[in-house]
Structure 1
Amino acid sequence: MFDQTRVIRKALAIVVLLLMTVISQAEDHPNIIVIYADDLGFGDLSCYNSEAAYETPRLDQMAAEGIRFTDAHSPSTVCSPSRYGLFSGQQIFRSTGRGGGAFEGPGGPSYLKPGTRTVAQMLQQQGYRTGVFGKWHVGLSWFDKEGERLGGGFENSLLIDYEKSTPLMDGPNARGFDESFVTPNCPNTDPLYVYIENGKVAAPASERHDPKRLPNPGGKWRWDNDAGWMSPGYDFINADLLFFEKTKAFIKDHRQHTPDKPFFAVLSTQIAHAPVLPAEEFNGATEAGPRADFVWELDVLVGRVLDLVKELGIDDETLVLFNSDNGPETLHVNWMRHDHEHDPSGGWRGMKRDGWEGGHRVPFIARWPGHIPPHQVSAQMTNTTDIFATLASVVGVSLPDDAATDSFDMLPVMLGHQDESRSVRPHLLTQSFRGEFQIRQGPWKYLDHQGSGGNNYDVKNMQEWAIPEKSPDAPGQLYNLEVDPGETDNLYFTEEAKRIELQSLLAKLKSSGRSALKNRVPFRMASTQQPSAR
């Protein structure tokens, strides 16, 4: 005879056991903080650029206390596709079929489609409380009063029906974040200018923004602050201070009310995106102009994050990652080179939007006292997409083959257990502004397009940075970065076998649905812990 009570009791016991297992695992997991910079180039930190026109002492300290990667790359050379890569562990063409632009106005829907597993969802399932604060910019769905989805465009901001649009169907809280305080696009560049807290907009965009109301440092650094619609009281100058305070409040509240659980926080800054508008307390902080002051502000905020976890007594229990979404903006490179003899690209060819190294080679630093040995500098090839698989390894999760399909586990490198002569990655994909592909294999790099893949070097402010093409008739580009780091000698025709090999590999990785290996197993951490530095 069917014993319903017995079955129910057995089911409840299983549920309780699973919950206890998750709680037990969560107690062993570190807190995780990702600080994500915006348009920060390889040469913008003094720990990467000994000739920088200013210093970044707190980021230099973070690098000295952990590991600094010198061959790290953003998934794309513009922000929205790279942010998709951070959250999904995938290249943007997995979502769109090719490339992906940066959203403006009420642009959407989200690149993070329903069913796309995010790093936040993965950590939630491991008992983490998750939060994101700052620039979101992976697309959002907004609707007018008729229930029709709105596209981008500044005037469409006035057509939003906030009751029909919120809580946002594809905002952070629908993609794995328990708490969120974000702007839909770049906070100071791309209208609409509103704050979104946990999927709701407290103050709709109802006022016209006039860029002339804002400071114009040096007479030019306000460039790219678009006129558009803003909510009353929207603060352009103190945006990143606000995002830090929201992050701080999330962490402190979490530690006060649920100290037995780990947290995952993303501080998504807008520095050093245009316009350059450092908060008042940072004006004149350096002798290298407003953009250097802006980067100084970022450095101070990173320091405040590190100080916060020490004050809370969780320094050794917290993994902090620092990364950037692409290379530096064109006019920023131009002005910093001319005015201050500072190269935001750090000597690499190209800048934001370009498929050359300067467009996607970026800083990447990791710090976890007692686990990541200090003073490490790694030349391992890595991508922002790797953060997903690395964090999965940190919490002991074996990723299914349909998740984070362009993500490789860099935890062994961070812990000092990977032979530097053995690359974790057999290859690496990046995409430029137009969605065109670049692929790396060891020192070899193939660009599946002519020219930069992004910027037009025939325009006046770019001409002086143009490098004559030695093979102008080649439909693509092939470089050996070991002997030609400046990407000046196109070997498309002279190294035909290697070019065909990389073209075939690129076609395979595009069609297979993944570039990451299958059957990924998390790196075992039990015997790898390092003595605490304290």
Structure 2
Amino acid sequence: MNKKQYYTAAKYTFVAAAAAVAVGMSHPKEAEAAPNVIMIYADDLGYGDTRLTNSTSISTTPNLASIAANGINFSEGYVASPVCSASRAALMSGRYPARFGFDSNFLARTYDDRNPTYSIASLLKNISSVNYKTMMIGKWDMGNTNALMPVARGFDSFYGIPGGISSYYPTNGTAPSDATFWQKSTNTVVTSQAVVSDQTLNVKEYDAGTGTYVKRTPTNYLTDVFTDKAVDYIQNNGGAAQDPFFLYLAFNSPHVPMQVPSSYYAPYASRTDLTNQQKVYNAMVDNLDHNVGEVLNALGSHSGYKWNNTMVVFVSDNGPEIGSAGRLQGGKHDVFEGGIREPFAIQWPSQYTNAGTTYTKMVGTQDLLATILRAAGSTATLPTQASTDLSPYVKGTSSGNPHDYLYWRYINEDGEGQTDQVQLAVSNGTYKYIRTIDPDTTVNEYLYDVTEVNPEQAGDNLIGSSGLTATKNALIAALNDWNANNPLREDFNDDLSGAGDTDPPYGYAQGWFAYNKDADAPNPDWSVNSANQWEGTGKGGIRSVQAGSYFTNFTYDADVMLKTSGKSGVIFRSSDHANGSFMFKGYLAQIEYGGAFRLIRMDANGTSGTVLAEKTSGLTVNTNETYHLQIGANGSALTATLKNAAGTVIATLSATDSTYSGGLVGLRVGSPNSTTNATTAFDNIVVLPQ
């Protein structure tokens, strides 16, 4: 690989002017032809790590900055999730990750078969008027089975990391002598030695002959290897007389582990203002920028066809774990701005002729699906309502905002040290509402003006501002409506029982939280049992509620098994929170040991209620038998159906009640009295909007 910088500092001013001249010289054929597309995705890069978004970033990143100089810089460019897998699923599908239950990395990787079967690549392949070639290089992280890997999702070929984390060098003693790495155990930087890492080199390549993914062990620095592959692909495809290409180049840099060629580390070695880890990190950012320059260099001169008619996109998957969010608050694993606002730029010289423009309205990476497909000439109905074609806004032919709102739903359950906190957010581009729910059920709310120079500072929470009450309520209403259109599924096929933990987790997959816990008990009243069912035990009424989703009209299915005498069921349209505590005003469909099935409106914080419909004769409810509850809510019409284990309907209830029009869903266990424990197991929960 040529190790020169594509743009030196001296050339930087010339770049924007040269791009403007090149755009003016582009031929009509170039402007009309379907473009090549290069989508470059970084990993854990912060808003403050590049000159795209921070004029004083430690790394000067001239090549990244050149994309904005030759195109459009999106100052309010957002990703759909503050973690890897969920963010990538949104990028490729044009949908919010909550749409398919990817509210965390854990959920995305555990239930990866929920991924949409299509991608930007497969949709490009569906355009009959043009024959796109497609290539994926780098980190996939959207399912490891053959049915979910890139070639099954529209890519002709793949070379990269199937998912998760990979070392950048071999860890078998064969790393080049110029390798440098940060050793976490000793907090030291090690050079000129074989790389030691708790991550192996995890690279595979699709073998078209066998139809399998074959392990590869490159000996050079992985970011450089990915670039070499990309440069070779660009140089051999996408010319004026060739079919256009779509290249998805997903670098895993600057994600951990901290490893980099020594030549990039050398300028930072003696700096005393940076930690050892930060030194290697910024060297990795420099290397990433250099490699982006090599990709741009492969497009040729500014008057060439490939240069003019190639759309180049750059963005990162989520905020920094190690790097800098700049003026923004937060980072990876949270929905504050630092976790979800990213360096984001696009150049397409033959079409985006207003080079050097900063676009200040709110956009998301979901929009890249529509933008790329429309640029390619697709007139088909897109499989998503969340993706907006940005080109008309960028070129000034459409005014207004690409989005009235953007939304986030995230469960912070990814990895060691995380909190199992549910985080919800909605932004209208000026104001952003955030709600967090902790495992102890503490609710916090925030309202920020995200157009401030330093948004989301501790003293800037406007949630109590009387002048913004209408704005806050409108944001909450929009968030509730959005949640109502996103499904919830839970089969509890995950062991989150907290076995061996000093403080067992009370949050589970999909953001379920236990209430009325016995504070003196060593284990929570709710746990995943050996049959992978969620089991609740307690005296009186104990319950859990799904804190992330809000539903209006829906169907709600759940398997319920009374393990002891008592009464149990499902909560729906349970009210949100008031005064910082969850309320349980809503509806309850409940079975009772012996023989009763009731549809109840719960009032007075769920401690009492009104029976709306019931069946108490000719019905037997036993312990240790599975019953299937199916609930329907459509406007004021409520239905509840009870089936036995064989699927036979044994009771049906219906009622009309307009007291509660929407809310959360959950589960409830009740014991016969205040001194006797009752236990119930729940499983196979699905809530779908109607």
Normalised to the residue count of structure 2, the TM-score between the two structures is 0.54
Name the % identity: 27
Native 8 Å contact 1:80 1:102 kept in 2: no
What is the Cα deviation at residue 174 of structure 1?
Answer: 0.4
User: Hey, what's the Cα distance between the residues in 1 that align with 2:43 and 2:483?
Assistant: 27
User: Hey, what's the Cα distance between the residues in 2 that align with 1:42 and 1:236?
Assistant: 31
What is the Cα deviation at residue 93 of structure 1?
Answer: 1.3
Native 8 Å contact 1:327 1:359 kept in 2: yes
Native 8 Å contact 2:132 2:245 kept in 1: yes
Native 8 Å contact 2:93 2:116 kept in 1: no
Native 8 Å contact 1:27 1:262 kept in 2: no
Structure 1 residues 28 and 85, CA, compared in 2 at 3 Å: closer, same or farther? Answer: same
User: Hey, what's the Cα distance between the residues in 1 that align with 2:425 and 2:197?
Assistant: 31
Structure 1 residues 512 and 102, CA, compared in 2 at 3 Å: closer, same or farther? Answer: closer
What is the Cα deviation at residue 367 of structure 1?
Answer: 0.7
2:327 aligns with one of 347, 353, 359: 347
Match status 1:490 vs 2:461: yes
1:28 aligns with one of 11, 25, 33: 33
2:198 aligns with one of 206, 219, 226: 226
3-state SS of 1:278 partner:
strand
Structure 1 residues 368 and 113, CA, compared in 2 at 3 Å: closer, same or farther? Answer: closer
Written as runs of structure 1 = structure 2, the 5 A alignment for 1:497-516 is: 497-512=470-485
Native 8 Å contact 1:120 1:175 kept in 2: yes
3-state SS of 1:314 partner:
helix
Cross-structure match for 2:96: 91
Cross-structure match for 1:270: 252
User: Hey, what's the Cα distance between the residues in 2 that align with 1:491 and 1:221?
Assistant: 44
What is the Cα deviation at residue 61 of structure 1?
Answer: 1.7
Cross-structure match for 2:373: 392
Native 8 Å contact 2:30 2:305 kept in 1: no
- The residue identity in structure 2 corresponding to 1:68 is N
Cross-structure match for 2:679: none
What is the Cα deviation at residue 91 of structure 1?
Answer: 1.3
3-state SS of 1:180 partner:
strand
Structure 1 residues 97 and 348, CA, compared in 2 at 3 Å: closer, same or farther? Answer: closer
Cross-structure match for 1:199: none
3-state SS of 1:254 partner:
coil
Cross-structure match for 2:635: none
The aligned length equals 411
What is the Cα deviation at residue 129 of structure 1?
Answer: 0.7
Tell me, which stretches of 5 or more residues in structure 2 are unaligned?
1-28, 204-214, 413-421, 488-690
- The residue identity in structure 1 corresponding to 2:134 is T
Native 8 Å contact 1:389 1:399 kept in 2: no
Structure 1 residues 240 and 230, CA, compared in 2 at 3 Å: closer, same or farther? Answer: closer
Match status 1:358 vs 2:361: no
What is the Cα deviation at residue 72 of structure 1?
Answer: 0.6
Structure 1 residues 180 and 381, CA, compared in 2 at 3 Å: closer, same or farther? Answer: same
- Greater shift, 480-489 or 40-49, is seen at 480-489
Per-residue CA deviation, residues 327-385 of structure 1 (Å, 9 max, x unaligned), is 111xx24xxxxxxxxxx101111011111101111011111113212110111101111
Cross-structure match for 1:310: 300
- The residue identity in structure 2 corresponding to 1:327 is G
3-state SS of 1:282 partner:
helix
User: Hey, what's the Cα distance between the residues in 1 that align with 2:483 and 2:156?
Assistant: 33
Match status 1:481 vs 2:450: yes
User: Hey, what's the Cα distance between the residues in 1 that align with 2:408 and 2:367?
Assistant: 13
Native 8 Å contact 2:238 2:306 kept in 1: no
Match status 1:44 vs 2:49: yes
Match status 1:244 vs 2:231: no
User: Hey, what's the Cα distance between the residues in 2 that align with 1:482 and 1:322?
Assistant: 23
Written as runs of structure 1 = structure 2, the 5 A alignment for 1:121-270 is: 121-126=122-127, 127-141=131-145, 168-188=146-166, 215-217=180-182, 219-220=187-188, 225-227=197-199, 234-235=217-218, 238-255=221-238, 259-270=241-252
Structure 1 residues 230 and 87, CA, compared in 2 at 3 Å: closer, same or farther? Answer: closer
3-state SS of 1:437 partner:
strand
- Greater shift, 26-35 or 85-94, is seen at 26-35
What is the Cα deviation at residue 513 of structure 1?
Answer: 5.2
User: Hey, what's the Cα distance between the residues in 2 that align with 1:477 and 1:268?
Assistant: 33
3-state SS of 2:427 partner:
strand
Native 8 Å contact 2:449 2:456 kept in 1: no
What is the Cα deviation at residue 491 of structure 1?
Answer: 2.9
What is the Cα deviation at residue 482 of structure 1?
Answer: 3.4
3-state SS of 2:55 partner:
coil
Native 8 Å contact 2:142 2:149 kept in 1: no
Native 8 Å contact 1:84 1:111 kept in 2: no
3-state SS of 1:93 partner:
helix
Match status 1:64 vs 2:69: yes
Native 8 Å contact 2:174 2:219 kept in 1: no
Q: Decide which structure has the larger Cα Rg and report it.
A: 2
Structure 1 residues 225 and 75, CA, compared in 2 at 3 Å: closer, same or farther? Answer: farther
Match status 1:439 vs 2:439: no
Per-residue CA deviation, residues 464-503 of structure 1 (Å, 9 max, x unaligned), is xxxxxxxx97532222223571343333343443322222
Tell me, which stretches of 5 or more residues in structure 1 are unaligned?
1-23, 142-167, 195-206, 334-343, 454-471, 515-534
User: Hey, what's the Cα distance between the residues in 2 that align with 1:313 and 1:49?
Assistant: 32
What is the Cα deviation at residue 119 of structure 1?
Answer: 0.9
Higher strand share: 2
Structure 1 residues 125 and 103, CA, compared in 2 at 3 Å: closer, same or farther? Answer: closer
3-state SS of 1:296 partner:
helix
User: Hey, what's the Cα distance between the residues in 2 that align with 1:481 and 1:47?
Assistant: 18
3-state SS of 1:377 partner:
strand
Cross-structure match for 1:112: 115
What is the Cα deviation at residue 254 of structure 1?
Answer: 2.9
What is the Cα deviation at residue 316 of structure 1?
Answer: 0.6
Written as runs of structure 1 = structure 2, the 5 A alignment for 1:369-380 is: 369-372=349-352, 373-380=354-361
What is the Cα deviation at residue 432 of structure 1?
Answer: 3.7
Higher helix share: 1
Match status 1:409 vs 2:382: no
What is the Cα deviation at residue 26 of structure 1?
Answer: 12
Structure 1 residues 220 and 349, CA, compared in 2 at 3 Å: closer, same or farther? Answer: farther
- The residue identity in structure 1 corresponding to 2:368 is I
Cross-structure match for 2:401: 423
Native 8 Å contact 2:264 2:287 kept in 1: yes
Structure 1 residues 236 and 249, CA, compared in 2 at 3 Å: closer, same or farther? Answer: same
Native 8 Å contact 2:314 2:343 kept in 1: yes
Native 8 Å contact 1:381 1:424 kept in 2: yes
Structure 1 residues 210 and 350, CA, compared in 2 at 3 Å: closer, same or farther? Answer: farther
Structure 1 residues 433 and 95, CA, compared in 2 at 3 Å: closer, same or farther? Answer: same
User: Hey, what's the Cα distance between the residues in 1 that align with 2:425 and 2:357?
Assistant: 28
User: Hey, what's the Cα distance between the residues in 2 that align with 1:377 and 1:281?
Assistant: 33
User: Hey, what's the Cα distance between the residues in 2 that align with 1:139 and 1:52?
Assistant: 34
Native 8 Å contact 1:438 1:448 kept in 2: yes
What is the Cα deviation at residue 394 of structure 1?
Answer: 1.0
1:291 aligns with one of 278, 281, 290: 281
Native 8 Å contact 1:66 1:369 kept in 2: yes
